[in-house]
A and B are shown apart, each in its own frame.
Chain A
Amino acid sequence: MADPMKIRATLQGDVADVRVLMAHPMETGQRKQAGKAVPLHFIQSITAQLNGKTVFSADISQAISRNPVFAFKVKGAKAGDKIVITWKDNKGETRTDETTVRAGL
C-alpha cells in the first residue's frame, strides 16, 4: 500500500495555503536498473476538496519529480475546514489523505 501523504493547510487571512508531499517513485520508464528498464509508474491525477467541494485538480505526466510536492491556495477557507486530497496512478493505485485547515501565525 502506498505511504501516506503529508498535508499541511495553513490560513493566511482568508486564504488556505495547502502544501502536500506524496510518496511515489514517478518512474519515467526510461530509468534502468540492473540493465532493465523500470516500467512507467507515475501519478496521473490529483483532486483536492475543501469541505467536499473540488477546488483543485490536475492531470500530470511522469515528468513531475519523484516524491511529488505541490502547493495551491484556496480563498474563503476557515480554520477547521476539511481538506481531502486523492491521487491515482497509472497502475490504478490510489491514496486519499486529509487534514484540517489551521489558523496561521
Chain B
Amino acid sequence: MRQALVLGLVAGFAAAPSPQAAAQTEDPVAAEFDKFREVLEKDNPAELWEVKGEQLWKTPRGPKNASLEKCDLGLGPGVVKGAYAQMPRYFADVGRVMDAEARIVHCMITLQGFTYAELAKAPFSNATRTPDPVSITTYVAAQSAGVKLAAPQNHAQEKAAYAAGKEIFFYRAGSFDFSCTSCHGVDGQRIRTQPLPNFTKPEQAIRSVQGWPGYRMTGGVMHTLQWRLNDCYRQQRFPEPGYTSETLSALLTYLTVNSNGQVYKGPGIKR
C-alpha cells in the first residue's frame, strides 16, 4: 500500500523539469575535453614507452637470452606491423584466443624463459615502475597505428570467444549489481565529468579500443587494456580477473570485433 502510494508520487514528479536537464543533452564539457584531447595527443608521452618497448622486443633477454623477434603475433614469426589491429585471435599452438598482451606474455614465457608467475605478480604500472609487457604492448600497438581493426571471426573458438565475451559484458553481479553495461550500455551518459561511451554500439565500441595502450594523466603512467579491464572490475566491485586470462581475451574479442573496420590510431592519452 505504502509502496504503491510512493510509486504514484514518484511517477507524478518524474515529469517535473530538472533545473539543469538541458545541460545534459549537449555536453559542452565533453566537447571541451575533446578539443584539448587533440592537443594532448599531438605530443604523447606514450612515445617514450614505444621506444623502450622496441628495445625490449629486440634485445636478447631472460633465462634463454633470446629476443622476441621470433614471437608470432598471428601474422607469422616476427611480424609486428598491423598485428595489434588483428587481435584478439585464435592461436593453434595454445588452443585459445589471445589478446595482444596475453600473446606477448606467452612469447616472453616460451621464447625468453620468464615465468607466468613473475610476469603476473605486479603486472600494472605505478609511479616508479612500468612492467616490461606494458612497454612491449605499447610498441606493438604503435606498429598498427593507422590500420583498420580486423579482429578475426573465422575459427570456431574466435566466434565462441565473441559470444562468451558478450555474456561476460552483460553479466550483472557483485555488491553493487553492476555489469559492464551499467556504465557502457546507454548513449550520452557520463560519470562525474567523464563521458561514457556505449560499447554495445559499433560506432561507440571503438572507444573501448582507441587510445589504448594509453598514457594516463592520473599518475602519469602507461597502461594497457589489461589494466583497464582489471580496474573496471575493481570498480564493478567484482573479485579480480586473472591477468591475461581467457575471460579478458573474450571480453576484448567482443569489444574489438564490435569496432572492426574502424581505424586504430595507436597508443593514446587517457584521463
Contacts and interface: CB of A to CB of B under 8 A. Distances in A.
Direct contact of A and B (CB under 8 A): yes
Interface of A: 3-4, 6, 19, 21, 23, 25-26, 31, 33, 38, 65-67, 69, 71
B45 A21 contact: yes
Q: Which of B43, B217, B219: most chain A Cβ within 10 A?
A: B43
A6 B47 contact: yes
Contacts of B217: 65
B52 interface: yes
19 contacts: A3-B48, A4-B51, A6-B47, A6-B48, A6-B51, A21-B44, A23-B45, A25-B128, A25-B220, A26-B220, A33-B128, A65-B220, A66-B219, A66-B220, A67-B45, A67-B48, A67-B215, A67-B220, A71-B43
Contacts, number: 34
Interface string B204-228: 0000000000010101100000000
Contacts of B42: 19
A33 B127 CA distance: 9
A21 B215 CA distance: 13
B52 A3 contact: yes
A10 B252 CA distance: 37
Contacts of B52: 3
A67 B130 CA distance: 13
Q: Chain B interface mostly helix, strand, loop or mixed?
A: loop
A67 B219 CA distance: 10
Interface of B: 42-45, 47-48, 51-52, 127-128, 215, 217, 219-220
A21 B47 contact: yes
A29 B43 CA distance: 26
Given A31-B127, A33-B127, A38-B127, A69 B48 contact: no
A65 B220 CA distance: 8
Nearest to B42: A19
B20 to A, nearest CB: 32
A33 to B, nearest CB: 7
Nearest to B50: A6
A21 B43 contact: yes
A85 to B, nearest CB: 14
Contacts of B47: 6, 21
A4 B52 CA distance: 10
A4 B220 CA distance: 17
Given A19-B43, A38-B127, A65-B217, 6 more contacts: A6-B47, A6-B48, A21-B47, A21-B48, A33-B127, A67-B220
B134 to A, nearest CB: 14
